[in-house]
Structure 1
Amino acid sequence: MRSTLKAALLVSPSHIEISDLPIPVPGPGEVLIRVHSVGICGSDVHYFVDGRIGETVANQPLILGHEFAGEAAGAGPGAAGLTLGQRVAVDPAM
C-alpha cells in the first residue's frame, strides 16, 4: 500500500504546487476517504485568486476542494456506519 498521496497545495495566491504528502491515519471515530472527484466552488476561487474571502485569510499551504466524493479507504477505532470500499460524498458543512 502507498504511504504518500499527491496534493495540489495553494502556497500563495495564484500559486499551486503539487506535493507528495503522507497519507493520514484516521483517528478515533474518523474515516479515511480515497478521493475520486472534487468540485470547485466560489470559495475555492476566492482563496486561489486573493488568498482570502472577506476578512477570512487562508492559512497556507492549503489544499482546496472541500466538496468531494470517493470511497472509504480506512477507519479509525470506533468509526461506524461505513464499510471499506463504500462510495461516499462528503458534506462540507460538517
Structure 2
Amino acid sequence: MKDTRRTPMKMREFLRRTDKRERAAVAAACDTSVPYLYQLAGGHRHASAYMAMRLEEATREVAERSEGRLRAVPRRSLVRHPEIYD
C-alpha cells in the first residue's frame, strides 16, 4: 500500500482538499490571489522560482495545521522548468 503522507501533493489536489480560509491563508502568505492559485493548479500559469518557494512554505504551514489531511506542494511542481532545482 502506498504511503500517501510522504508523496508530494499537487496544487490541484491541495486546493480541492482545502477550505476557503486555508486557500485564502496560502494566497495571503504569498501576497497573491486565490484565482492565481487556481491558474497554477490548472497549468494555465507557472510560478516564478521565488513564488514557488513562497508557495511551498505557505502550503507546508497550512498542511502542518491540517492534522495529516494535507501535504505541502513542492516548488518544482509549480515552475515551468523544474530542473532548476536539481
Taking structure 1 as the reference length, what is the TM-score of the superposition? 0.22
Taking structure 2 as the reference length, what is the TM-score of the superposition? 0.23
Larger helix percent: 2
User: Larger C-alpha radius of gyration, 1 or 2?
Assistant: 1
